[in-house]
Amino acid sequence: MKDIIVSHRQQNEGFSQLRFKAEKALKEIEQDNVDLQGKDIKILIQELQVYQIELEMQNDELRSANEQLERQQIKFTGIYDLAPVGYFILSNTGRIEEVNNAGAKLFETGKNNVIYKKLQNFIAREYVDIFYRFYRQMLITRESHTCELKMIAQNGREFYAHVEGIGIHQIINSPVQCYLAIIDVTERIQAEKKLAETKERLELALEASAAGIWELELDTMKFYMDEFNYKLCSVPNGWFDGTYKTFISLMHTEDQEMVDQHFRTALNNEKKIDVVSRVLNSENQPCYVSIRGHIVAEPDAGKRFVGIMIDITEKRRMEEESANLKQDQQKVITQAILNAQESERKRISDSLHDGVSQLIYGIKMKLALQQSKSVDNAPGNIYELLDMAIQEIRNISFELAPSILADFGLPITIEELAKRLSTPQMKIKTKIIGFKERLGLPLETNIFRMIQELINNCMKHADANLITVEIRKGKQIEIKLQDNGKGFNVKAQENHPSGSGLSSIKNRLSLYNGNMVISSNSTTGTTIKMSLDYKNH
């Protein structure tokens, strides 16, 4: 289009020069009063005919150029008006000289209400200074510039616009005009604001929950962490090289393999990760962190593994304290139940010993007196039965609450228990080491009850002829009971206990942080090992 305008301009200049020459020649003829005849007239006519033909050709070219220019103008006008972007032509004073349909639509009005008005009238007051600096730069530099403005439509609707423009001269020495493209970016600005607000809320939530953000690029295995995670993992400034391997090395040495396995499982199966690990803080003390995350797939950016890392040290400490408190409460309850059982057993034992046993003993004395006067052997048989009854009552009293335990201690009581329960068909051997000092009566009572329960189980179920009981007192009290019986299925018994004996023993062991290991088979019989802590009790 520019070439057409230049050609048109050159044609006009050629026509003007030709006319100037013709007028000059005519004046010279009139001044000299020359009589043109013959050959000179023919030459002049010939030149005039050539000039006429040239003028006609130039006129045709000019007409064609004008038609092409009109077509280009119509084409440009169509493109200009139908463009989806708002286009504005502003004077050097900021007045709108031209606007397309999209530009007028931005202001919710028609072209007639926009043209010849200053664009400043449609800009929010707080953005006028920005527009003024932007417009001044275009006028001075004649280069492309951009800015973002808050604008107001004719109906009062506010919207954000991205403005790009340049100042140009249409004609040499004419005033500068500014060509602007204005695009409504309200949705983008609002999305950015919403994203910023969401990010701020997320940062506040992360700060309140003692958490930080991490990200793993699956293509490069580059690992990114925020400042909170740097502090949480005691990473010196500039030391973290951003590799997955280095991140794993930040975990506690005992947890590194476990964390790595969880990450690889989550990546291979595209599942979430939720794992707890230990890290060393700035004081070189272990603290607990919860690592959570999931895979995010984006159309243009590929897949990323993103998540958070939360400091749960305080939470873990409170959980442990709560568990210890529950355990202590359970110990208190268990000890109270055992004390009540022992008290009841002692009461029954005392009643048997002091009541029933004394009565039977008195009957025996009277029968002894009658026996010396009688010749019949019947009282003698009654005397033997009474001896057996007294012995049985003493055994029951011993099993319920052995007074020997309070008077002489655990070793003698265990030996007495073995002596009383041994029979010609089943021997009970004992080996007691290290009991130079007495333990507390509750502890001695619990140890006696556990051994008593284990021996009773052997007598009932093992079909053994030898039971060995070993008790050692060192840093812990270790108890070992072994028989040569037929054995039993330990796992089945634990899954489906047939009685309360083992449960009662485990409850007593829990009072002293004890544990029990059972091994049993039909060849070697059953071996039960127990250990318990007695120094804090």
- In tens, the pLDDT along 455-504 reads 888 888 888 999 999 999 988 999 999 999 898 888 887 777 665 567 77
- Residue 347: pLDDT over 60: no
For residue 134, the model assigns a pLDDT of 93
For residue 21, the model assigns a pLDDT of 61
Distance, CA of 80 to chain centre: 52
For residue 472, the model assigns a pLDDT of 92
Over residues 201-230, the mean pLDDT reads 77
In whole angstroms, what is the distance from residue 307 CA to residue 386 CA? 82
For residue range 403-457, what is the model confidence (pLDDT) as tens digits?
A: 778 788 889 888 988 888 888 889 999 999 988 888 888 888 888 888 888 988 8
| Residue 130 pLDDT level (bands cut at 50, 70, 90) | very high
Say which DSSP state 424 is in. Answer: T
| Residue 333 pLDDT level (bands cut at 50, 70, 90) | low
For residue 4, the model assigns a pLDDT of 42
Q: Which fold has domain 405-537?
A: Heat Shock Protein 90 (3.30.565)
Look-up of token digits 């962190």: 289
Over residues 316-322, the mean pLDDT reads 79
What is the DSSP code string of 115-145? TTSBGGGGB-GGGHHHHHHHHHHHHHH-S-E
For the domain made up of 209-311, the CATH class stated in words is alpha beta
CB environment 218-247: b (16+ within 10 A), e (fewer): eeeeebebbebbbebbbbeeeebeeebeeb
Distance, CA of 1 to chain centre: 62
User: Two tokens at 115?
Assistant: 């043209």
| Residue 6 pLDDT level (bands cut at 50, 70, 90) | very low
CB environment 482-503: b (16+ within 10 A), e (fewer): bbbbebbebeeeeeeeeeebbe
In whole angstroms, what is the distance from residue 230 CA to residue 217 CA? 18
| Maximum mean pLDDT: which of 16-20, 37-41, 197-201, 355-359 | 197-201
In whole angstroms, what is the distance from residue 143 CA to residue 129 CA? 19
For residue 345, the model assigns a pLDDT of 64
Specify the range with the lowest mean pLDDT, choosing from 13-17, 334-338, 440-444: 13-17
In whole angstroms, what is the distance from residue 532 CA to residue 473 CA? 10
- Residue 305: pLDDT over 60: yes
| Residue 152 pLDDT level (bands cut at 50, 70, 90) | very high
Q: Which fold has domain 83-190?
A: Beta-Lactamase (3.30.450)
What's the chain's length in residues? 537
In whole angstroms, what is the distance from residue 123 CA to residue 41 CA? 73
Could you give the percent of the chain with pLDDT greater than 70?
71
For residue range 30-85, what is the model confidence (pLDDT) as tens digits?
A: 555 445 455 666 676 777 777 777 777 888 788 877 777 766 666 555 556 767 88
| Residue 319 pLDDT level (bands cut at 50, 70, 90) | confident
- Residue 276, judged by CB atoms within 10 A of its CB (0-12, 13-18, 19+), counts as middle
Could you give the percent of the chain with pLDDT greater than 90?
20
For residue range 449-464, what is the model confidence (pLDDT) as tens digits?
A: 888 889 888 888 888 9
Sheet of strand 525-532, all strands in order from the earlier edge strand to the far edge: 427-433, 466-473, 477-483, 525-532, 515-521
In whole angstroms, what is the distance from residue 300 CA to residue 309 CA? 26
Count CA within 13 A, CB hemisphere, residue 284: 0
For residue range 228-263, what is the model confidence (pLDDT) as tens digits?
A: 888 888 887 657 888 898 889 889 989 999 999 999
